[in-house]
A and B are shown apart, each in its own frame.
Chain A
Amino acid sequence: MAADSILSVTNLSKEYGHFKAVDGISFEIKPGEILGVLGPNGAGKTTTINMILGILTLTGGKIEIFNQGVGENRSEINKRLNFAAVYAHLPANLTVRQNLTVFGLLYEVKNLKTEIEVMLKEFDLEKFADSKSGLLSSGELSRLNLAKAIINKPDLLLLDEPTASLDPSIAELIREKIRIYAKRKGASVLWTSHNMKEIEAVCDRVLFLSHGKVLLTGDPRRLPAEYGKKDLEELFIAVAREPLSLEENQ
């Protein structure tokens, strides 16, 4: 692992029987870097995130975060990272404040009451503080998920489609919050999305996954031209439909 890497993934694989969900991928994230992980549904993005979080065991390879192996130090490592995903629900039967309290305690946040007030204000959730999370709209819920994801001031933030199903205005608001946080804290972010404009706007570097393999990597603003495509969206479609032709180009 390079000394200046926050996250280092080496030859990572995950197999379910004969099916290879992730097939020997390697990549790193540097301090302060925002890495976009792209790929069609079933490419292995969420599987990779789950292995980084330690909620899915690896079949092969190695993951190091903050220079520690994930397997044996999960609890210590996870104190310094956090995540938000559309599929990871916060208990709908707890209020916004109760959810932030429970997760603040799980991450052993100091001065929790004060931190919760800061989060409520920062994410414009003050008026919903005592509402049950299940009653929130998609946009409000996304803001709550994000507040939970940064309550422990993580050095590494894993975001699995954080703006999925949001209207463009709220999506932009969420993007802005993440960008501000990452810049202020110097945090690294791993960001998956199917919104190519979002990736172009936010990410320093992207990684295209297809069938569990890293197909290509580079600057999202230059990559399309390198592969003779008009924009990132066209490149994404090519990756999804004809990944082998792109592999040959490499």
Chain B
Amino acid sequence: MSVSRIYAIFLRQLFLFKSNPTRLFGAFIWMVLAIVQWGFISKYLGAFGQATFGFVTVILGAIILWEFMGRFEHGLMMAFLEDVWTQNFVNFFASPLKIYEYLVGLVLASLSTGLTGLIVMMLLAGLAFGYNIFKVGLLLVPYFLILLLFGIALGFFSSGLIFRLGPSAEWLGWPIPIVLSIFSGVFYPISTLPVGLQFIARALPPAYVFESMRGLLATGVVSSGLAANLFVGALLSAAYLLAAYFFFIKVYRHNLKTGGITRFGVESAY
């Protein structure tokens, strides 16, 4: 593995922000809007049920974590799409660059925007709504790790779809976080879902994070099954990441065989 080559991929993405600062707007605006919108909704709902449930506490915490994961998936896919739009694959893959170095570079680039966005969201939630996500304590670390791994897995998967099906498949990648939010217990407990859908929820790592966090923030008590839940969530995230990585590699090899890399970006070829 070459640090220089990984840095090249990371730097290529960084240069895009440097040469066109309006990209920064796209990277952070959705996160900011989500905090503002859900902050006010939570305040409004809190006026009705404040005695029994801290809406701001529970919903803003969930939004910060969910946006981090969802924007990470989008960030990784966007970084990949930059190379699709500039038809850059021939030059990249004809260099000594290895496919996993390319992916690590994309992850680092998305991590830099994802973490910056996270800080912005935390500051905004604190300043505008008096919300402090650190109330969760050290449990934030496993929560973020589980969601980060799952976000990377989703990014690899959506990029793999685009790599396999062609540039227009980006439209399959954008809605993934919204679709998954239905099953992941971000805004409501998974017990709200019909029994059949609860099975889907249990197969998704975020459900373990949000169920655990909701319980913790609502009651202030660390439940006895929390460690086991987080372990299952982490295991699932790692499994999805491996599966998504191998999916991307399989698509890459398919494209090496069919000539897809040399023609990539040509919509009609797919």
A interface, CB within 8 angstroms of B = 16, 46-47, 50, 53-57, 74-76, 78-79, 82-83, 85, 87-95, 98, 101-103, 105-108, 132, 148
Contacts and interface: CB of A to CB of B under 8 A. Distances in A.
A108 B90 CA distance: 18
B256 A108 contact: no
A105 B259 contact: no
Interface in B110-143: none
Contact of B2 (A56, A74, A108): A108
A125 B12 CA distance: 20
Nearest to A21: B259
B36 interface: no
Given A94-B19, A98-B12, 15 more contacts: A50-B259, A55-B90, A56-B259, A78-B94, A82-B95, A89-B86, A89-B87, A89-B88, A94-B12, A101-B11, A102-B11, A102-B12, A103-B91, A105-B11, A106-B5
Contacts of B96: 74-76, 78-79, 106-108
A53 B2 CA distance: 19
Nearest to A75: B96
A202 to B, nearest CB: 22
A55 B256 contact: yes
Interface range on chain B (Cβ under 8 Å from partner): 20 to 34
A78 B90 CA distance: 13
| A interface, over-half SS | mixed
A88 B94 contact: yes
Nearest to B15: A98
B19 A98 contact: yes
Contact of B7 (A50, A79, A105): A105
B250 interface: no
Given A89-B87, A101-B11, A105-B8, A53 B19 contact: no
Given A57-B257, A102-B12, A95 B19 contact: yes
Interface in B86-105: 86-98
Given A93-B20, A103-B91, A106-B8, A50 B262 contact: yes
B7 to A, nearest CB: 6
Which residue among B15, B82, B253 has the maximum number of chain A CB atoms within 10 Å of its CB?
Answer: B15
A53 B91 CA distance: 10
Interface string B1-31: 0101101100110011001100000000000
